[in-house]
């Protein structure tokens, strides 16, 4: 086998392997989506409400126990969580600017857990500054993206 033939053969193997690997990744992604799509869709509103309540409770201290977002999602029933959010919002609707801002604070707080406290405070300040500057549409997109990613971590 000469050098050109060997190079061509090597190239074909690499292309073939890459194609098989890509196809396997696509099949795995499809399997994940099929397996968890319904559970993920059911979890999204729970995570969103938990984030909103967490942010609201952090600001208004309506529940002295200060449950974490994780506790709200995994330990509290949907109806109880909805009532707590309603009480905390004190008449404002869950689609209000205030509720959206609380949701962003809750979602990002959850993402920052595990950081050193000093770094976490700096990041939380940046989140609040970004919330103040972004349009409602941009805040909604950010919240949707954050909740979607966050919900994935709670799939079983």
pLDDT tens digits for 49-61?
999 999 999 999 9
Overall residue count recorded for the chain in this entry: 156
Q: What is the pLDDT of residue 38?
A: 85
**Could you give phi then psi for residue 7, rounded to 5 degrees?**
-65, -45
Q: Does the structure show a pLDDT above 80 at 76?
A: yes
Q: What is the band of 68 on the pLDDT scale with cuts at 50, 70, 90?
A: very high
Which of the pair, 122 or 30, is modelled with greater confidence?
122
Find the angle CA(110)-CA(93)-CA(135) to the nearest 5 degrees.
Answer: 65
81-132 residue pLDDT tens: 999 999 999 999 999 999 999 999 999 998 888 899 999 999 999 999 999 9
Q: What is the band of 12 on the pLDDT scale with cuts at 50, 70, 90?
A: very low
Q: Does the structure show a pLDDT above 80 at 34?
A: no
Nearest to 131 by CA among 59, 76, 38: 59
For residue 63, with 0-12 CB atoms within 10 Å meaning exposed, 13-18 middle and 19 or more buried, which class applies?
middle
Distance CA 111, CA 106 (A): 9
Q: Does the structure show a pLDDT above 90 at 47?
A: yes
Q: Does the structure show a pLDDT above 90 at 13?
A: no
Q: Read off the tokens for 76.
A: 């509290």
Q: What is the pLDDT of residue 1?
A: 53
- pTM here? 0.77
Q: What is the band of 44 on the pLDDT scale with cuts at 50, 70, 90?
A: very high
Per-residue 3-state assignment (H helix, E strand, C coil) for 52-68: HHHHHHHHHCCCCCCCC
Q: Does the structure show a pLDDT above 80 at 14?
A: no
Per the listing, tokens 């449950």 go with 67
């Amino acid at each position: 086998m000469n050098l050109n033939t060997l190079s061509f053969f090597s190239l074909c193997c690499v292309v073939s392997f890459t194609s098989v690997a890509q196809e396997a990744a696509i099949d795995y992604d499809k399997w994940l989506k099929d397996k968890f799509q319904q559970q993920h869709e059911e979890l999204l509103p729970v995570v969103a409400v938990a984030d909103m309540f967490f942010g609201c409770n952090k600001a208004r201290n309506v529940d002295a126990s200060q449950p974490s977002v994780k506790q709200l999602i995994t330990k509290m029933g949907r109806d109880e969580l909805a009532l707590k959010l309603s009480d905390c919002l004190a008449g404002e609707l869950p689609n209000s600017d205030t509720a959206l801002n609380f949701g962003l604070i809750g979602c990002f707080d959850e993402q920052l857990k595990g950081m050193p406290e000093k770094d976490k405070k700096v990041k939380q300040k940046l989140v609040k500054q970004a919330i103040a500057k972004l349009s409602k549409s941009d805040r909604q997109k950010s919240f949707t993206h954050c909740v979607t990613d966050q919900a994935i971590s709670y799939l079983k």
